[in-house]
Structures are given as structure tokens and as C-alpha cells.
Amino acid sequence: MKALIFSDSHRYTAGIHKAMKENPDTKLIIFAGDMQSDAEEIMRTYPRIPFAYVLGNNDWFVRDVPYDRFFEFCGKKIFLTHGHNYGVKMSPLRVIMKAKELGADICIFGHTHYQLLEHNDIWAVNPGTARSGYAVLTVDNGEINIELKKI
């Protein structure tokens, strides 16, 4: 099963649409915040694909969407956050520690606009800005694979 991971679109969704066309077998869209209005547009455009998202530091006056989300995809536990509340511009350590504390297999965040992929005890992934990149998460027979892609 495949999920596409995006973040920080900042009202530029062309990259997301391009990635979706290149990955028609996507079963889940994950969005790590900044901009909630873009998340709503993507949900309207692809109504049959489940969507998990959180708010970012530029998402104001939104009430029903959290800053942190913990959910499962294909039996794997995912901690999703934008990252600004964890100081990810200085270091991803705090957000990764939070994900470990929750028992996550995967920690997804954005905010820095730079792609990051690490695998120690858990997977840590930042897809970068949706203008220039995204990540592909696949879970096959319980095995996690994550790739960073450029647009």
C-alpha cells in the first residue's frame, strides 16, 4: 500500500497534483501542514483517497484540525505534526523523541522546507516543500519503505 507525504504547499498545489498523477495507486495522502486551505482543495480534488493532515504555523483560525495526529496505516503507527512546536528548524531530535514516546514506527513532519529521511529506531521523514518535493511511503508485507522524490 502506498501513501504520498506532502508539507508546506503555501498555496502552491501544482506539485501535489503532479505527484498524484504520477502515483495513481496512492491509498492515502498525508499532509504535514501549511496551508490548511490547500489541504481542503486536495481533499475535494481526490475525494476517494483518505487524507490525514495537521495544521502548521501558518494555519490560523482553524478549529477542528489538530497540530499533532497519531494514526495507523497498514498496521504501522505514524506520528504526524508540522514540527514548529518541536523546534525542528534547530534539530529534529525533539519531534523524533516525541514519536518514540508514543510508540510510533514513523515520524512525519515539515516546517523546515528541506527534505530529510533518517532511519534509526524509527523512520523520520520531512518531505520538504510541496513546491519541490514529496515522500512516498510504502508498506508491503509489514516492511516500511520511504523514498524522497523531487518534483
**124 DSSP 8-state letter:** E
Question: Would you list the DSSP string of 11-34?
Answer: T--HHHHHHHHH-TTEEEEEE-SS
**Phi-psi bin for 122: left (phi > 0), alpha (psi -120 to 50), beta?**
beta
Strands of the sheet containing 76-81, edge to edge, are 68-73, 76-81, 106-108, 123-127, 115-119
What architecture is domain 2-150?
4-Layer Sandwich (3.60)
| Domain ranges across the chain | 2-150
Which pLDDT belongs to residue 9?
97
pLDDT tens for 12-41 read 999 999 999 999 999 999 999 999 999 999
Q: What is the pLDDT of residue 22?
A: 96
The pLDDT tens digits for 139-148 are: 999 999 999 9
Burial environment of residue 118 by CB neighbours within 10 A (0 to 12, 13 to 18, 19 or more): middle
Q: Which residue has the cell 504520498?
A: 4
Q: What pLDDT shows up at residue 61?
A: 85
Distance, in Å, from the CA atom of 31 to the CA atom of 28, rounded to the nearest integer, reads 10
> Which residues in the chain come in under a pLDDT of 50?
none
